[in-house]
Structure 1
């Protein structure tokens, strides 16, 4: 049995082989050899040898006030989903699909009371990086109280060449949110390929109580399998996926409590689904209506459209960051 300390000493990538170690019946099942990284010894990562780099913080391309009211600020951002190259393992590069072509994608730092509009263009190739389906995307801001048409409904797709404008009210109190792909049947593959990023939402109380700036460090921990050439390998173990943070065993149940504003403009259809993404992709989900389900249709109220703007119309601008390794 491997201790927690030994797991941490092996490092994130070194832990890839842990599933094949001996353990009791509660351990992760043995992973067949084809699902393990096929890297040559010279390309295997060395624990603690990599340099930590914070995801860049995206600057808005426009700020202002709704109808000139200083109590109603807004910020507008632009992102492009595209392929990029990442250096995960020594001596090899890995093709990823990311927001602005990087993983994790750019961090968007939002403030309570400042609504955000995020323009997301799909500039990905016709076929998926880790699946043969069309590379359509759906962006979901996880944890945001968004209207249905901006909540990442799994069938509200943005096809390659299209763009969709997402609106986030940001009225909630401080929390660490994240945006990621949510496309039906291929969420797991698209997120694994790199379509994930941070969206920290702050408020006055948090800024007064907790260290800010260089001490507020977004940290994403993930594991991956690599082919011999450094490309991403993917195997969902016959749809078994990975273990979530709350395990509900056979014949067990949980109760979920939710509160909604049921005003005349707040109705619509939402989804609830398993967050083992492989299970979600195989339809472990259901939709439900809040108030008048004809309001705020998640697919038709504000759909994606063909982007006529040139690719360089919204060049990314990042806020000054800290040096790598800090």
Structure 2
């Protein structure tokens, strides 16, 4: 049983060294010794092919949902995935050619960490109209879809897409909701 004095000592130690040492205070050393860092192969996200194309636009469908991934060897961790993958699939785009990305939000009303299941997709670094920018309150509610259209009137660049929902974008990205978006000139 933990005494009040032991609790106060522990809290003082935690305050002195910050939260970096928190896991070692709460879990036995054997738990950490059993995990070999970097023993899983690096996961390279697959490149998603367009679901269709026309003369001016490439169309993509992305499904957001909860699934499990092996992050720590031998353990399954619940994550927020895009098309079942963490990180989500890579989108390859061309400067000057439009891309329309339709996102289906398959999250429950409350998702990991108690966060609301609403999302807003932001293409980080893209030059796009305000209506397509994924503002923090431009939500896709669970069970709904939203199509973002990007004109790509900019120079080629390595970009990334991620959740941008107010107050929860950090945790949604931390749980896996992000992907690469590579814009080239060819």
Question: How do residues 179-258 of structure 1 correspond to structure 2 at under 5 angstroms?
Answer: 179-204=161-186
* Corresponding residue number in structure 2 for 1:116: 99
Q: How does the TM-score come out when normalised to structure 1?
A: 0.48
Q: Aligned to 1:59, which of 49, 61, 65?
A: 49
Count matched residues.
Answer: 168
Seen in structure 2, the aligned counterparts of structure 1 residues 136 and 93 have a Cα distance that, compared at 3 Å, is same
Cα RMSD over matched residues? 2.1
Q: Is the CA contact (8 Å cut-off) linking 1:75 and 1:116 kept in structure 2?
A: yes
Q: Deviations over 1:180-231 (max 9, x none)?
A: 0000011111111111100000014xxxxxxxxxxxxxxxxxxxxxxxxxxx
Task: Report the Cα distance in structure 2 between the residues aligned to 1:92 and 1:189, rounded to whole angstroms.
Answer: 20
1:155 aligns with 2:137: yes
Please report how far the alpha carbon of residue 32 of structure 1 lies from its aligned counterpart in structure 2 after TM superposition: 5.2
SS at match of 2:81: strand
Unaligned runs of 5+ in 1: 1-28, 66-72, 205-326
User: Taking structure 1 as reference, are residues 32 and 53 closer, same or farther at Cα in structure 2, changes over 3 Å only?
Assistant: closer
Deviations 1:240-282 (A, max 9, x none): xxxxxxxxxxxxxxxxxxxxxxxxxxxxxxxxxxxxxxxxxxx
Q: CA deviation at 1:128?
A: 2.2
Structure 2, gaps ≥5 residues long: 1-16
TM-score between the two structures when normalised by the length of structure 2: 0.83
1:38-49 correspondence to structure 2 within 5 Å? 40-41=31-32, 43-47=34-38, 49=39
CA distance in 2, matches of 1:141, 1:198: 10
Residue 19 (structure 2) aligns with = 31
Is residue 129 of structure 2 the alignment partner of residue 141 of structure 1?
no
The structure with the largest strand share of the pair is 2
The 1-side partners of 2:37 and 2:118 are apart by 36
Moved more, 29-38 or 140-149: 29-38
Whether contact under 8 Å (1:43, 1:92) holds in the other structure is no
Q: Which runs of 4+ in 1 moved over 6 A?
A: none
Partners of 2:23 and 2:54 lie apart in 1 by: 50
Q: Does 1:170 align with 2:158?
A: no
Whole-Å separation in 2 of the counterparts to 1:195 and 1:43? 28
The answer as to 2:94 corresponding to 1:104 is no
Alignment of 1:274-293 (within 5 A): none
Q: Deviations over 1:4-30 (max 9, x none)?
A: xxxxxxxxxxxxxxxxxxxxxxxxx73
**Cα deviation, residue 43, structure 1:** 4.6
